[in-house]
Chains A and B, each alone.
Chain A
Amino acid sequence: MLKLTDVASYYGNIQALKGVSLHIGQGEIVTLIGANGAGKTTTLMSISGVVQPKQGRIVFLGEDITRLSTERIVSLGITQVPEGRMIFPRLTVRENLLMGAYLRKDKAGIREDEEHAYTLFPVLRERRTQMGGTLSGGEQQMLAIGRALLARPKLLLLDEPSLGLAPLVVENIFEIIEQINKDGVTVLLVEQNAQMALQIAHRGYVLETGRVTLEGPASDLLNDPKVRSAYLGLD
């Protein structure tokens, strides 16, 4: 469904990605794990077209999207839930959700997906007239995911959805990610919380300083001695 081939991205002179290749099949949950600064966010931003890769190719559903605008990429069906949630603090919860549907014209479908978001996250329905900035961290993460779903994505990119959240909230969010996947959305999940991510993912990639150093089925990675010591704090 999505294939990155030898993607290299820079911030000015700093090379953040040094030739990343990975692929995601329809219906999968694939996780990308790695330490802080490994290039996980840059990978997602390169896919979304916010960062323009200097080299390499990104193909989505047979179409080369490497040089397309973010607007085009979103309309093709890739939506990102960015690191740190990035909800709009002074828009209401409902306005935040509807921003996710910015490029859509089908009023009935949008209405339906808004309802669906409230079903997945009942707290958002209660808070729909409140400003986004007044929500708790967990609620903001739910809002960020709900907002992305309003775009009706084929591929959902999630950047560290567990960041800064209490364990119980994280568990809840991960259950919902699995649910979203079962509903037919393919998921690329970036996490530092490798344990949780590998438990729900089908496959995984390990990123180190801009390169993929390990890949395989999630269960293999969970048992890999290197992953266990470096990312799971086990040995």
Chain B
Amino acid sequence: MLEQQLVNGFTLGLIYALIAVGYTMVYGVIELINFAHGEIYMLGAFLTLSFISMGLPLPLAVVLAMLAAAAIGVLLDIVAYRPLREAPRLAALITAIGMSIFLQNLAMIIWGSRPLPFPRQALPAFFSEPALTFSDVTISWMQMLIYAVAVVLMVGLNLVITKTRVGTAMRALAQNQTAAALMGINVNRVITFTFALGSAMGAMAGIMVSMYYNTMYPTMGYLAGVKAFAAAVLGGIGSVPGAMLGGVVLGIAETLGAGYLSSPYRDGVAYAVMILVIIFRPSGLLGRAVTEKA
């Protein structure tokens, strides 16, 4: 029982982690909480559905959905946030909430407001079967897929951030924007890259969730977004490894909370975690003290 909860919580945690890195990277470079990030996650699922119904094979549909979501994330920044770069922080925050509502409603217009199933016929039949079984714990092939994709994406993301020129520019920008500009770094181009990267990861999370639970609906990004944001705060907002750790810890905490308290408490766990972190350790598990960022 406990072991199975841990397996399920870990799976969910990886999904949160994939979404949380998008929040944390964007916060790192422009200090904006991109509330519309949950909607990018939702769009990932619906775009995959649409590409599949156009007759594309699953892998191609997934890749195209990630690319389209990345483009939408970039557009969001250019249209909604870039004009407010010099404005008070609150203006951009409210705009982000507005964009979240806008994208939700746009999805309702396009795909309807009722939940839709993931097209199961596009998935190999064995996906829902157990891949591994130890005594009373089972890990399904679907869960194995989530582990594999999440690990590959996160290792890849870490390599991009730590080893490439644009990744180093991203980190430089997050640490001192004026200095980054004085190095000749095109600040807006790096911000665009950040949105694209975060959005693609978030979309992939939405795609896998819709396969895992076999459902998608236009408001699915709201709660997932709040929880992933809580995970980012738990890990230390601005820290990419922190977001990964925070996601996994939150996923496990939430599943255990649902299992041992009662399931209505499930969603409360994320809020409780966020409040506790803000009170006792505002810099999060792996974050730096906020005051350091002078």
Contact A74 B182 (CB under 8 A): yes
B279 within 8 A of A: no
Contact B186 A69 (CB under 8 A): yes
A123 within 8 A of B: no
Residues of A within 8 A of B169 (CB): 99, 102
A146 within 8 A of B: no
Chain B contacts with A in 78-129, Cβ cutoff 8 A: none
Least Cβ–Cβ distance between A76 and chain B, in angstroms: 10
The interface stretch among B170-178, B224-232, B270-278 is B170-178
Give 18 new A-B contacts, CB below 8 A, not counting A95-B168, A99-B185: A50-B178, A69-B186, A70-B181, A70-B182, A70-B184, A71-B186, A86-B176, A86-B182, A87-B179, A88-B171, A88-B176, A90-B171, A90-B288, A91-B168, A91-B175, A99-B183, A102-B184, A102-B185
The listed residue (B168, B178, B288) touching A99 by CB distance below 8 A is: B168
Interface residues on chain B, number (Cβ under 8 Å): 18
Chain A contacts with B in 62-118, Cβ cutoff 8 A: 69-71, 74-75, 79-80, 82, 86-91, 95, 98-100, 102-103
Contact A86 B168 (CB under 8 A): no
Chain B contacts with A in 142-196, Cβ cutoff 8 A: 165, 168-169, 171-172, 175-176, 178-186
Interface residue ranges, B against A (CB under 8 Å): 165, 168-169, 171-172, 175-176, 178-186, 288, 292
Least Cβ–Cβ distance between A177 and chain B, in angstroms: 18
A2 within 8 A of B: no
Contact B165 A79 (CB under 8 A): no
Residues of A within 8 A of B168 (CB): 91, 95, 98-99
The listed residue (A80, A90, A95) touching B182 by CB distance below 8 A is: A80
Contact B179 A50 (CB under 8 A): no
Q: In the complex, which residue of chain A has the Cβ closest to the Cβ of B293?
A: A89
Report the separation of the CA atoms of residues A119 and B80 in the bound assembly, to the nearest whole angstrom.
48
Q: Given the interface contacts A82-B179, A87-B179, does A71 sit within 8 Å of B184 by beta carbon?
A: yes
A48 within 8 A of B: yes
Report the separation of the CA atoms of residues A89 and B186 in the bound assembly, to the nearest whole angstrom.
20
Contact A89 B175 (CB under 8 A): yes
10 contacts between A and B (CB under 8 A): A69-B186, A70-B184, A71-B184, A82-B178, A88-B172, A89-B175, A90-B171, A91-B168, A99-B168, A99-B180
Q: In the complex, which residue of chain A has the Cβ closest to the Cβ of B174?
A: A90
Residues of B within 8 A of A71 (CB): 181, 184-186
Report the separation of the CA atoms of residues A69 and B182 in the bound assembly, to the nearest whole angstrom.
10
Least Cβ–Cβ distance between B115 and chain A, in angstroms: 43
Q: In the complex, which residue of chain B has the Cβ closest to the Cβ of A83?
A: B178
A151 within 8 A of B: yes
Residues of A within 8 A of B175 (CB): 88-91
Q: Given the interface contacts A88-B171, A91-B171, does A100 sit within 8 Å of B183 by beta carbon?
A: yes
Least Cβ–Cβ distance between A159 and chain B, in angstroms: 10
Contact A151 B184 (CB under 8 A): yes
Chain A contacts with B in 25-77, Cβ cutoff 8 A: 48, 50, 69-71, 74-75
Report the separation of the CA atoms of residues A50 and B182 in the bound assembly, to the nearest whole angstrom.
8
Report the separation of the CA atoms of residues A70 and B171 in the bound assembly, to the nearest whole angstrom.
19
Report the separation of the CA atoms of residues A120 and B292 in the bound assembly, to the nearest whole angstrom.
30
Report the separation of the CA atoms of residues A90 and B180 in the bound assembly, to the nearest whole angstrom.
13
Contact A91 B184 (CB under 8 A): no
Q: In the complex, which residue of chain B has the Cβ closest to the Cβ of A90?
A: B175
Least Cβ–Cβ distance between B238 and chain A, in angstroms: 10
Report the separation of the CA atoms of residues A196 and B183 in the bound assembly, to the nearest whole angstrom.
27
Report the separation of the CA atoms of residues A86 and B176 in the bound assembly, to the nearest whole angstrom.
7
Report the separation of the CA atoms of residues A102 and B185 in the bound assembly, to the nearest whole angstrom.
7
Residues of A within 8 A of B292 (CB): 89
Report the separation of the CA atoms of residues A98 and B183 in the bound assembly, to the nearest whole angstrom.
10
Contact B184 A74 (CB under 8 A): yes
Residues of B within 8 A of A70 (CB): 181-182, 184
Least Cβ–Cβ distance between A70 and chain B, in angstroms: 5
